[in-house]
Amino acid sequence: MKKTVKKNGRPKNAESFTWWLNHFGSLPSREVLKEVKFMETQLRKIGDDEVPLVGIASLRALIALINKPDARLFKEIIERVDGKLPTTIKSWRDEWVAALKAGELDPKVVEEELGGELAAELFLAASIEVSK
């Protein structure tokens, strides 16, 4: 089977792990069993290009997860199929900046509480001009 690659270097469709994980993950168990039997016949005649090894490897990963649940493997499969969850860390500064933007905090009070230098950073992040 000739490999075709997308612009970002990842394999296209049925040549990618993601495609196969999505494929097997969306099938009812009876259909997966049929696919397993089909793949077994394909493996017996290795010269046939019907099912790429990436498909077999993807199925093996899912079977391993079913037989012996492993949180790390499950996480890797989920991230491969659905993509990584965005990691957003918010601090008290983010909350204060949002409150300043919404007009919920008085800039004078912020400056009194935090001092001029730290308040100036928050005003800059909130795109607020404060006249002295």
Report pLDDT digits (tens) over 16-68: 777 777 887 888 888 888 877 877 776 666 555 666 777 777 777 777 777 78
CA distance 132 to 118: 15
Q: Are 66 and 54 in contact (CB under 8 A)?
A: no
The mean pLDDT of 116-128, rounded to a whole number, is 90
Res 85: pLDDT: 76
Residue 55 CB neighbours (<10 A) = 22
Res 1: pLDDT: 43
Structural domain spans, the chain? 13-82, 92-125
Which residue in 52, 63, 70, 72 sits closest to 27, CA to CA? 63
Least confident interval from 9-13, 25-29, 111-115: 9-13
The pTM (predicted TM-score) of the whole model is 0.37
CA distance 101 to 107: 10
Which residue in 38, 55, 60, 41 sits closest to 1, CA to CA? 55
CA distance 120 to 115: 8
Residues 54-106 have pLDDT tens digits of 777 777 777 777 778 888 888 887 887 777 877 788 889 899 999 999 999 99
Helix (H, G, I), strand (E, B) or coil at 81: helix
